[in-house]
Amino acid sequence: MSILVVGSVALDSVETPFGNRKDILGGSATFFSLAASFFSKVDIVAVVGEDFPRRYVKLLKDNGVGTLGLSVNKGKTFRWKGRYDYDLNTAHTISTHLNVFKDFDPRVPKDLSRPEFLFLANIDPDLQYKVLSQVKRPKLVACDSMNYWINTKRRSLEKLLGGIDILLLNDAEARQLSGESNLIKAASSVISFGPKAVVIKRGEHGVLYFSSKAHFVAPAYLLETIYDPTGAGDTFAGGMVGYLSRVGSINEAAIRKSIIYGSIMASFTVEDFSVNRLLKISRKDIKDRFDHYRKITSF
């Protein structure tokens, strides 16, 4: 089945205690699409500037990511510079230059307007809602957001939530949106806004899943080496939605398994800067890590 992701493609400059990199490939749509491409056909809708390296477009294409919806506009590409401390849990933004992304007005090409699965990556909720009006209702719509939109465009976000199936947030965002400190109550409150389910990402502490029918808790995959957590959440979403697209089912059993695959994909991403680790793994590597995860969480 097909997946469409609408989000950012960016050039990141990242500093961690384990090194630093300048102008490396980043962006929510990038991490999501490369992770999802291991499971299913995926296309992106995003915008870059004239300075965006052609080798990165080729990289996406070579890894099975459709770029028909990737627009190249006059100006510079969205750039983000950030720093992480030793706990690697919080990104400290040094600078953000939206550049062409500031005027991003997503247009879904006609050939991409009938995706079975749609992921609305972290962008303005008004734009996310606009995308919904350009596609035939997908089998599943998943959506990401962030604290900035909760603060500045809450009404738009709440309007959007009535049209999606799964909302992905981190624990702080879930508490912020719901006004509840307890995550069980927070999830229940978020679901009352419209989504059928909510996935709460907790970094090294794993993932919580809540729907009106079931709850599910999944620990993070244990790692000895973490270099860069940038894009881990988007990679998680790519693995999750990618798996659901591959099996063509969105029942509770499939969703639980997709969460594990999402966690596995995120565990690869953090082992190197940018998308470098994702470019070096195979489907066998994913299966081996999934099997190991199953073994260490069984009792």
Full 3-state SS string of the chain: CEEEEECCCEEEEEEECCEEEEEEEECHHHHHHHHHCCCCEEEEEEEEECCCCHHHHHHHHHCCEEEEEEEEECCCCCEEEEEECCCCCCEEEEEEECHHHHHCCCCCCHHHCCCCEEEECCCCHHHHHHHHCCCCCCCEEEEECCHHHHHHCHHHHHHHHCCCCEEEEEHHHHHHHHCCCCHHHHHHHHHCCCCCEEEEECHHHCEEEEECCCEEEECCCCCCCCCCCCCHHHHHHHHHHHHHHHHCCCCHHHHHHHHHHHHHHHHHHCCCCCCCCCCCCCHHHHHHHHHHHHHHCCC
Judge whether residue 169 has pLDDT over 80. Answer: yes
Model confidence at 203, pLDDT cuts 50, 70, 90, reads confident
Could you tell me if 17 and 56 are in contact, meaning their C-beta atoms sit under 8 angstroms apart? no
What are residue 4's DSSP bridge partners? 43, 118
What pTM value is reported for the model? 0.96
Q: In which domain, by residue range, is 223 found?
A: 2-296
Q: Which two tokens stand for residue 177?
A: 């949106």
Judge whether residue 220 has pLDDT over 90. Answer: yes
Model confidence at 87, pLDDT cuts 50, 70, 90, reads confident
| Residue 3 to residue 242: CA distance in whole angstroms | 8
The predicted pLDDT at position 46 comes to 98
Percent of the chain with pLDDT over 70: 100
CA atoms within 13 A on the CB side of 186: 22
Q: In what order do the strands lie in the sheet with 215-218?
A: 65-73, 41-49, 2-6, 117-120, 140-144, 166-170, 197-201, 207-211, 215-218
Could you tell me if 129 and 160 are in contact, meaning their C-beta atoms sit under 8 angstroms apart? yes
233-289 confidence digits (pLDDT tens): 999 999 999 999 999 989 999 999 999 999 999 999 999 999 999 999 999 999 999
Q: Give the CATH number of the domain where residue 184 resides.
A: 3.40.1190.20
Judge whether residue 1 has pLDDT over 90. Answer: no
| Residue 108 to residue 129: CA distance in whole angstroms | 13
| Residue 9 to residue 159: CA distance in whole angstroms | 26
Pairing of strands 207-211, 197-201: antiparallel
Could you tell me if 209 and 165 are in contact, meaning their C-beta atoms sit under 8 angstroms apart? no
Span 124-149, average pLDDT: 94
The predicted pLDDT at position 245 comes to 97
Q: In the chain, how many domains are there?
A: 1
